[in-house]
Amino acid sequence: MAYDEYSADSDPGPISAQRWIEAAVDQCADKIPSEKIVLGLGAYGYDWPGLDNQDQNVTYQQALSRAHTSKSIIDFDDDTYGLHFSYKDVNNNKVHQIYFNDAATHFNSMRFASEYNLAGVALWRLGSEDGRVWKFYNRDMTEEEARKFNFKELQTVKTTKDVDYVGSGEVLNVLYTPQTGKIDLKIDTADMLISEEKYVKIPSTFEVITYGETPDNVLVLTFDDGPDKTFTPQIIDVLSKYHVPAAFFVVGLQAEKNLPILKRLYKEGFEIGNHTFTHDNIAKISTDRALLEMKLTRLLIEAVTGHSTILFRAPYNADSEPTTMEEIIPVALARQQNYLDIGENIDPEDWEVGISADTIMARIIKDVNNKRGNIILLHDAGGETRKETVKALQRIIPYFQSRGYRFISLSELLHKKRDDLMPSIPKGSGYYIIQFNLALATITYWASNFLQSLFIIFILLGIGRLIFMVILMIRERKKKNVILLMRQ
């Protein structure tokens, strides 16, 4: 285990300097035959936050992500064969020191192991290593074999689909998307070692900054999938009764059917977010369609309220810590349109068929008590199950208020004003186009309602006509029966 030369309880320094490894092996070989020694390679790093001396393990990819985010220069020490950089955390004004190993470090260590006739090498820890190590890990690393190795294979660092988080909270903002890295190498041809390594282009994974960390006694209510003509007004009434703010993430198709409710939401001070136009899974449709879904809903919100929105929540993937591609793709696409993705950690799954208000409330209480987060996800559309959501809401608010909790808006959570999250549309050519869109949407809304009403009227008239004809038929039959009796 020739690693942790500098570790969690020490000052910052190399994970395993080459000379330190050699000294450790020499000491071990005094007691154990070299052919029985397996050399452990430290395939990880440490992030020392400077001021409080608290360490943090980092993987190779995490180290690169932090270097990329902070625009730091990675230094390859040609004496230790390790890497180092420092960066300043603007959130807490701390200077961090990161030391880590990569494929070049391991290449040089394996060359030493081969020349020392060790039994082999082991990697600690799997999953945190530089993936380039697998290009030579199973090779004979003698000088003769090392000369046959194509070092160009180490000049490209492929990205991964990992997600690296910075900050804390349930509001997500994608800083960077994956990009491949480029590295220049210099080879010591005398000993066949990597003598110099320069990260020309630092690779990156999905790097997400999170916001909105709040005290434990603060909660935020959010509602998805509406507006609904039956249940959204009921929810608004409950919120207004208790003077509680909330954010509504609307579906474009639903909003088109309920324009007056959308207007009411904004007029009564609630925040409105984009939940796509058709509520399809963003990760499973084309990028063009996904962007169109966001754009159409945003245009509708702008037309109806006169304000845009930078709030977005992806259907089916509202998790505040996405880890899979299906979860992170919607967040990345939303970032392209300058949205903030609003996640959540408290989800009672009130959309489940047959769920009761008691179950909804019990799940929320459990998650809040377990300090899972501050943002609560409920639904104001989606069928008759919303009756239970309304019942639960009537109990949730007074329950938590009586226990010292405070319900706040997303704007307060982010230390912003509502107009920052829903900026007004300036007057101009674009403004009048939006007004034209509003006129079309309004005409469509009233026309569809008129036709729907007309359709119902025609059905009722048809039913009335049928009933009238049945009555006439019965009367006619009775009349004929009377005539037959008189003739007899």
Q: Which residues are catalytic?
A: 224, 379
Phi then psi dihedrals of residue 358, to 5 deg: -60, -45
Tell which residue, 180, 170, 179, has the closest CA to residue 208: 170
pLDDT digits (tens, 9 = 90+) for 210-221: 888 888 899 999
pLDDT-based confidence at residue 450 (cuts at 50, 70, 90):
low
The answer, yes or no, to whether residue 53 has pLDDT greater than 60, is no
| Integer Cα distance of 318 and 252 in angstroms | 18
pLDDT of residue 464: 76
Sign of CA pseudo-dihedral 447, 453, 456, 462: negative
pLDDT of residue 174: 86
Residues 6 or more apart whose Cβ sits within 8 Å of residue 150: none
Q: Kindly report whether the peptide bond that precedes residue 227 is cis, defined as omega within 30 degrees of 0.
A: yes
| Integer Cα distance of 342 and 320 in angstroms | 7
Phi then psi dihedrals of residue 178, to 5 deg: -60, 135
pLDDT digits (tens, 9 = 90+) for 305-347: 989 999 999 998 766 677 777 788 888 889 889 999 999 999 9
Q: State both tokens at 362.
A: 């019990």
pLDDT-based confidence at residue 466 (cuts at 50, 70, 90):
confident
Report the share of the chain in percent with pLDDT over 70.
91
Residues 6 or more apart whose Cβ sits within 8 Å of residue 380: 223, 224, 225, 226, 227, 228, 231, 232, 235, 248, 386, 389
Burial 430-447 (b: 16+ CB within 10 A, else e): eeeebeebbeebeeebee
pLDDT digits (tens, 9 = 90+) for 351-370: 999 999 999 999 999 999 99
Task: List, in sequence order, every residue forming a beta bridge with 47; answer none if it has no partner.
Answer: 98
| Integer Cα distance of 235 and 386 in angstroms | 10
Q: Is 177 exposed, middle or buried (0-12, 13-18, 19+ CB in 10 A)?
A: middle
Give the position of tokens 């190399």: 14
